Amino acid sequence: MNPLTIVLDGVRDGRHTLAEMAQASNSPLSVLEAARDHLLYTGQLVRSPLCPPTSCGGCPLSRTGCRPGLATLQLATQTS
Amino acid sequence: MRAACCAGPANTSAGPDAAVVAIVGAPNTGKSTLFNSLTGAKVTMGNWPGTTVEVSHGRWQLGDQAVTVIDLPGAYSLDPQSPDEQLTHDLLLDPDPRERPDLTIVLADASRLAHSLYLISQIREHRINFVVALTMGDIAAKRGIEIDVDALATAIGAPVVPTNPRHRTGLKDLAATASSSLTLGHPLFAPSADARRSLDSQPSAENDGKKGDGHTSVKDGKGDACCCVSEANAEERFAWIARTVAATTNAPQGYRQSFSDKVDRVVTAPVVGPLIFLGVMWVVFQITTAVAAPLQDWLDQLFSGPLSDWTRDGLGAIGMGGTWLEGLLVDGLIAGVGALLTFVPLMALMFILLALLEDSGYLGRAALVADRMMRVLGLPGKAFLPFIVGFGCNVPGVAATRILPDAAQRILTCLLVPFTACTARLTVFVMIGTTFFGAWAGTAVFVMYLISIHLIIGMGWLLRKWLWPNLVEDPLVLDLPPYQIPTLRITASVAWLRLKGFLQTASGIIVVTVCAVWLLQSIPADGKSGFGAVEVGDSAYGVAAKAITPVFEPTGFASWETTSAAIVGFVAKEAVISSWAQTYALAEPESDTEPGSLGARILTDFTKSSGGHPIPAALAFMVFLLAYTPCVATLAAQVREIGLKWTLFGVALQLVTAWLLAVAFFQVGRLIA
């Protein structure tokens, strides 16, 4: 199956991670990562960092020191 | 191409008649490093004529031939999304052949080959004379990626030269290949059949002048046909990318697991994942309670012993001994705030351990486990975030519900966040745990967290079935950060940030609460005794607490000392400890200098109020603390997010749930005991 289709279907079907999609479709993860980045680039997927709007230091997901944290990917149609 | 690009000073370009070589590639593929290696210091920067895009150009000596090199801005594809990409697009696909570079060097990152191939897939669809410089080979080698360069050249249809501009290797080969390509004057290979098919089917610059392959229509929504062609082209290109990666790298067949993937397969597995998470948290609580206990005892001795004695002596020396000031300082602030401050080592250790888990990337996986659980129960997937935030502090947990797009999801999640066991409750859990469960204190605290999770799931399921049966969940994918070795700086920074929050609560709202409780304990309810000279049980505080206490008879903790502490706990959960400390310091002043005496007095009270079943009563009290309203700050946050009506509904829900659970735990526990 086409990598773009695998990623879009994976998001629609509720797969949790790209690794899950790669495993289920037996595709190289690097190609699916490239497909994900293409979908983000063209605006078909939206990436949202998961940091709370306010912080009192109680959030175990927020990070200091500019390290990448957890983020979600959603279909662009869901966020509009 | 002869005119615009050669506008720089003579010493930085090869002259108006020299051939022009353009360097293109995605950002961070080593483009500028290659440009600097080829041109040395002879570089000029300036805006491309008619644009605001800055372009560097320089001179590259290819044997006897000098060429002008242009470093074009980074571009992921030929579908322009910015002025930088528009320039690259226009220069490569411009219909005027005089504007085209004579040769294009396209950079491909060997460590992320699939990412680089999209631009190449577009370039190979056009009659562009190009060479691929394969960079980042050292990083690829470290990751165990091997690329068959000849096979890649065949798949692309252009020469591929492994190059490392940083170490200046492969530059001679690149020069030789570039020189040959320039001499030839046209692509070494004609665009392949599949590439031509893409080209023929798209409204490209070669066909319609300026619009590229029309991919921008995905964003601007103009022209469905254009959009469909664009998507079809992208699919074809990715099909080619998948085939090329499979044919040219050492991991051609299917999904190849990295170390991180292998770990993730275990820690995020549907059944094993949650068990591992629970195991990790149990270890965290065990370490916290066992290691911090001696330090806590030492601080307890300090506050209840020397510090109280010194304050009394000091006040006595200035003639204030036995006055209301001594009551406020010793029985109020030192007893109340001091009891809370004994938890500083415990909280510090807990925050350090959690920060280590976070910085390693593990807590992100825990979020995945939580997300899966949410979805199984039909709760919105994204709702796991406010809950995980809520385990730190309910206030930002409530605020975090803003990430949910749907109003019903926000209200539902807001109503559930107060059931997460925040760190303020943790202090009370630890105190009760060490008092009643000894070496099993860590397990007792851990059980409270388990109950908290089940409470969220159960209440969420009930509320959804009852109030929002048609709630729709939004599918989403989690972009997990990679595992990494925790660093001291980030661990210390995160732990300190949270410890500071705990200390600010202790020095702010708890001090005010302690003063308010002291004031109420000093006011005689009957009006006969003087201010500060009343038995605490006969004070306004004691009388009010005694009036409410009968409600808690079935829970096993119906003593006015405990119910009053629970009421003060509405302000902040840490205030439960300070209130107990104040009440017992006044009620039994002769024993307040004994270390650990607060726990002993609570144990005596629970034994009495439960009819000899202190353990079920303690469990019932812990569950009550877990389920009832966390603090006024959370209530304020809820009013802000979901309004007063839903907030009041939430308070009623929490109180009823807390009471019912406490009764159930005590009554069942009593029968079992």
What is the count of structural domains for chain B?
2
Residue pointed to by tokens 């980045």: A37
Residues B630 and B665 in one domain: yes
How far B632 CA lies from chain A's nearest CA (Å)? Answer: 16
Does residue B256 lie in a domain region?
no
A5/B382 CB distance under 8 A: no
Residues B157 and B200 in one domain: yes
Q: Is the pLDDT of residue B451 over 90?
A: yes
Q: At residue B604, what is the residue type? A: T
B241/A34 CB distance under 8 A: yes
* Residue to substitute from A1, A12, A20, A31, interface B, most B β-carbons within 10 A: A31
Q: Is the pLDDT of residue B7 over 80?
A: no
How far B604 CA lies from chain A's nearest CA (Å)? Answer: 35
Least confident window among B181-190, B288-297, B617-626, B662-671: B181-190
Q: Which residues of A touch B476 (CB under 8 A)?
A: 11, 72-74, 78
Residues B222 and B360 in one domain: no
How far B53 CA lies from chain A's nearest CA (Å)? Answer: 20
Instruction: Say whether the ipTM exceeds 0.95.
Output: no
Residues B291 and B198 in one domain: no
B405/A57 CB distance under 8 A: no
Q: Which of A28, A31, A58 sits opposite B392 (nearest CB)?
A: A58
- Output DSSP code: residue B166: T
Q: Give how far the C-alpha of residue B277 lies from the chain's centroid of Cα atoms, to the nearest Å.
A: 17
* Residue to substitute from A5, A23, A50, interface B, most B β-carbons within 10 A: A50
d(Cα B489, Cα B478) in Å, to the nearest integer?
26
Shortest CA distance from A24: residue in chain B: B255
* Residue to substitute from B198, B231, B255, B487, interface A, most A β-carbons within 10 A: B255
Does residue B542 lie in a domain region?
yes
Does residue B380 lie in a domain region?
yes
Does residue B264 lie in a domain region?
no
How far A76 CA lies from chain B's nearest CA (Å)? Answer: 10
Report residue B662's pLDDT band, with 50, 70 and 90 as the boundaries.
very high
A57/B474 CB distance under 8 A: no
pLDDT 10s digits, B537-551: 888 898 999 999 999
Q: Which residues of A touch B402 (CB under 8 A)?
A: 53
Domain stop point among B248, B283, B306: B248
* Residue to substitute from A33, A38, A44, interface B, most B β-carbons within 10 A: A38
Report residue B214's pLDDT band, with 50, 70 and 90 as the boundaries.
very low
Residues B125 and B92 in one domain: yes
- With the C-alpha atoms ordered B632, B637, B643, B649, is the resulting torsion angle positive or negative? negative
How much is the pLDDT for B356?
86
How much is the pLDDT for B647?
95
Please give the helix or strand (H or E) that residue B133 lies within, else none: strand B130-135
Q: What is the mean pLDDT of residues B437-455?
A: 90
Residues B397 and B464 in one domain: yes
More confident residue, B301 or B104: B104
Residues B234 and B283 in one domain: no
Least confident window among B356-370, B449-463, B537-551: B356-370
How far A62 CA lies from chain B's nearest CA (Å)? Answer: 9
Shortest CA distance from A80: residue in chain B: B405
Q: Is the pLDDT of residue B207 over 50?
A: no
Buried residues in B487-518 as b, exposed as e (16+ CB within 10 A): eeebbebbbbbbbebbeebbeebbbebbeebb
Contacts of residue B608, Cβ cutoff 8 Å, sequence gap at least 6 = B559
B493/A56 CB distance under 8 A: no
Q: Which of A11, A14, A38 sits opposite B118 (nearest CB)?
A: A38
Does residue B261 lie in a domain region?
no
How much is the pLDDT for B345?
87
User: Please, where are the H alpha helices in B468-536?
Assistant: 488-507, 509-522
Report residue B658's pLDDT band, with 50, 70 and 90 as the boundaries.
very high
B395/A5 CB distance under 8 A: no
Least confident window among B65-69, B131-135, B534-538, B539-543: B534-538
Q: Which residues of A touch B489 (CB under 8 A)?
A: 65
Q: Is the pLDDT of residue B211 over 50?
A: no
The closest alpha carbon to B101, from B124, B75, B127, B135, belongs to B127
Listed as own residue / partner, the contacts of B386-389 with beta carbons closer than 8 Å and 24 or more positions apart are B386/A52, B386/B413, B386/B414, B386/B417, B387/B413, B387/B416, B387/B417, B387/B420, B387/B456, B388/A59, B388/A60, B388/A61, B388/B363, B389/A52, B389/A58, B389/A59, B389/A60, B389/A61
B494/A72 CB distance under 8 A: no
Q: What is the mean pLDDT of residues B168-176?
A: 91
B397/A41 CB distance under 8 A: no
How much is the pLDDT for B3?
42
Report residue B478's pLDDT band, with 50, 70 and 90 as the boundaries.
confident
Does residue B48 lie in a domain region?
yes
Tell me if B256 sits within 8 A of A39, measured CB to CB: no
Residues B433 and B479 in one domain: yes
Q: How does the average pLDDT of chain B come out, rounded? A: 81
Residues B312 and B392 in one domain: yes
A61/B490 CB distance under 8 A: no
Q: Which residues of A touch B392 (CB under 8 A)?
A: 57-60
How much is the pLDDT for B196?
52
How far B608 CA lies from chain A's nearest CA (Å)? Answer: 38
Least confident window among A24-28, B172-176, B187-191, B468-472: B187-191
Q: At residue B91, what is the residue type? A: L
How much is the pLDDT for B240?
93
The percentage of residues in chain B with a pLDDT greater than 70, rounded to a whole number, is 83
Q: Is the pLDDT of residue B293 over 80?
A: no
Q: Which of A33, A56, A60 sits opposite B391 (nearest CB)?
A: A60
Least confident window among B299-308, B375-384, B620-629: B375-384
Report residue B657's pLDDT band, with 50, 70 and 90 as the boundaries.
very high
B396/A58 CB distance under 8 A: yes
Q: Which of B114, B235, B501 sits opposite A30 (nearest CB)?
A: B114
How much is the pLDDT for B199?
47
Least confident window among A2-16, B235-249, B443-457: A2-16
Q: Which residues of A touch B381 (CB under 8 A)?
A: 14
How much is the pLDDT for A57?
44
We report the CATH number of the domain holding residue B101 as 3.40.50.300
Does residue B253 lie in a domain region?
no
Q: Is the pLDDT of residue B182 over 80?
A: yes
Domain that holds residue B324: 272-672
Residues B284 and B235 in one domain: no
B295 exposed, middle or buried (CB, 10 Å; 0-12, 13-18, 19+)?
Answer: middle
A47/B479 CB distance under 8 A: yes
Q: Which of B393, B403, B475 sits opposite A11 (nearest CB)?
A: B475
Does residue B255 lie in a domain region?
no
How much is the pLDDT for B408?
86
Q: Which residues of B touch A43 (CB under 8 A)?
A: 218-219
CB contacts < 8 A, A to B, total: 211
Least confident window among A73-77, B33-37, B168-172, B558-562: A73-77
A60/B241 CB distance under 8 A: no
How much is the pLDDT for B460?
87
Residues B233 and B277 in one domain: no
The closest alpha carbon to B425, from B629, B581, B657, B656, belongs to B629
How much is the pLDDT for B44?
63
More confident residue, B102 or B591: B102
Q: What is the mean pLDDT of residues B351-356?
A: 84
In order of B89, B263, B350, B374, the CA distances from B205 in angstroms are 9, 47, 61, 49
Domains annotated for chain A, with CATH where assigned, are: 3-51+67-79 (1.10.10.10)
Domain stop point among B209, B233, B248: B248
Q: Which residues of B touch A13 (CB under 8 A)?
A: 475
Report residue B376's pLDDT band, with 50, 70 and 90 as the boundaries.
low
B405/A78 CB distance under 8 A: yes
Q: Which of A23, A42, A60 sits opposite B255 (nearest CB)?
A: A23
Residues B44 and B132 in one domain: yes
Q: Which residues of B touch A25 (CB under 8 A)?
A: 255
